[in-house]
Amino acid sequence: MEDHEILAKFQNPDSRNLAFNQLVRKYQQKVYWHIRKMVVDHDDADDLTQEVFVKIWTKLETFRQDAQLYTWIYRIATNECLNFLNAKKKRFFLPIHDVAAELAEKLDNTDTLSGDEIQLKLQKALVRLPDKQRLVFNMKYFDELKYEEISEILGTSVGALKASYHIAVKKIEEFLKGD
Amino acid sequence: MKEEFDINSLPKHHGYQVPEDYFDKLPLRIMQKTAYAGPVAQPQAAWFWQLKTAFAGLGLALVFAASFLITQYTDQTLSTQEAMAQVSQKEIYQYLLNQEDLQTADLAEVTAVKPPQSLEFLDVRTEDVSEIVTQEMLEEQMETTPNQ
């Protein structure tokens, strides 16, 4: 179902729940994986995914249809991730390296990753990146979004995003060579 | 020969996994949460509340401004010095007389008490003063003529 159809159904109180259910089914995996790649832990990603959709439910009425629905949803999910990671650092007074170490430790848990060794190495390299650089890399590399789309989601210029992605790739290369 | 690093040679899948049937059950869990999340925000209602909050803030600011101006123009509170100036000397003496722990040294610090009024203030009889003066004069004479 197209986004505009879901939105039109959502405006009608009689079909609101049905429309929202369709929206959840359409976007749940994108939202979950976007969050999971950032927070690593499944339980954290599960909680955040539910919170994101509750926010979408309460704010969808005010959604301006001049923007794309999926970029709006991505933006909410991104903000939730960044807030979660920042709160974690503040709560435990952790510097960025300690958060990276904690996330890397979770990656070693056999339940977390099903992939091969190179996937584990790549994820270990990624958790060492600053949050925003990691976001850019994930959206560009795994989600294959265009820079223009990422720019709309993060509110950052395309030039800055290209530079950020380039730096992230260099850091990953260094990590993989040195590992 | 140095091998060129190609990021695209890395796997395009992240490799994370989820519990079985996770995405089949997730919509139901989310719908249960939204049922308790309350009604969807209505834009008109939001505007109404914003407007109401703005008026409440404005009203509060006006109350503060009015109370400030009123206190500025009607503040008749006297300073300590002005209040003391209105108390008569007699009342000050009366007050000091009622103080049980009053010492002569304290009197010296009271500028309101003039020297001629000191005796009156101390409530000393003239006969007592004459007796002490006479006694002092006799003692002085005894000291100056020890052989007599």
> B21 CA to chain A: closest CA distance, Å?
12
Q: Which of B16, B22, B37 sits opposite A54 (nearest CB)?
A: B37
Q: Which of A61, A123, A172 sits opposite B15 (nearest CB)?
A: A123
pLDDT value of position B34: 87
Poorest-pLDDT segment among A14-28, B37-51, B125-139 = B37-51
Q: Which residues of A touch B17 (CB under 8 A)?
A: 111-114
Distances (CA, A) of A107 to A7, A90, A170: 38, 22, 22
Poorest-pLDDT segment among A1-15, A130-144, B87-101, B103-117 = B103-117
Please state the pTM of the whole predicted model: 0.63
State yes or no: pLDDT of B101 exceeds 70. Answer: no
Q: Which of B12, B21, B40, B44 to substitute to test the interface with A, most A CBs within 10 Å?
A: B40
pLDDT confidence tier of residue B35, bands split at 50, 70 and 90: confident
pLDDT value of position A164: 95
pLDDT value of position B117: 54
Q: Which residues of A touch B10 (CB under 8 A)?
A: 118, 122
Distances (CA, A) of B135 to B125, B139, B144, B148: 16, 6, 14, 18
State yes or no: pLDDT of B74 exceeds 70. Answer: no
pLDDT confidence tier of residue B22, bands split at 50, 70 and 90: very high
The per-residue pLDDT of chain B, averaged, comes to 74
pLDDT confidence tier of residue B47, bands split at 50, 70 and 90: low
> B2 CA to chain A: closest CA distance, Å?
12
With an 8 Å Cβ cutoff, are A119 and B15 in contact?
yes
pLDDT confidence tier of residue B90, bands split at 50, 70 and 90: confident
State yes or no: pLDDT of B41 exceeds 70. Answer: no
Look up tokens 């979950």; give the residue.
A32
Q: Which residues of A touch B46 (CB under 8 A)?
A: 62
- CA contacts within 13 A on the Cβ side of A136: 23
With an 8 Å Cβ cutoff, are A61 and B40 in contact?
yes
Q: Which of B34, B44, B49, B50 to substitute to test the interface with A, most A CBs within 10 Å?
A: B34
Asked if the C-beta of B40 comes within 8 angstroms of chain A's C-beta atoms, the answer is: yes
Q: Where are the beta strands (DSSP E) in chain A?
A: none
* Interface pTM, i.e. ipTM: 0.84
With an 8 Å Cβ cutoff, are A119 and B14 in contact?
yes
Look up tokens 């989820």; give the residue.
B18
Residues in chain A, pLDDT under 50: none
Q: What DSSP line would sit under A107-119, residue for residue?
A: HHSTTTB-S-HHH
With an 8 Å Cβ cutoff, are B33 and A61 in contact?
no
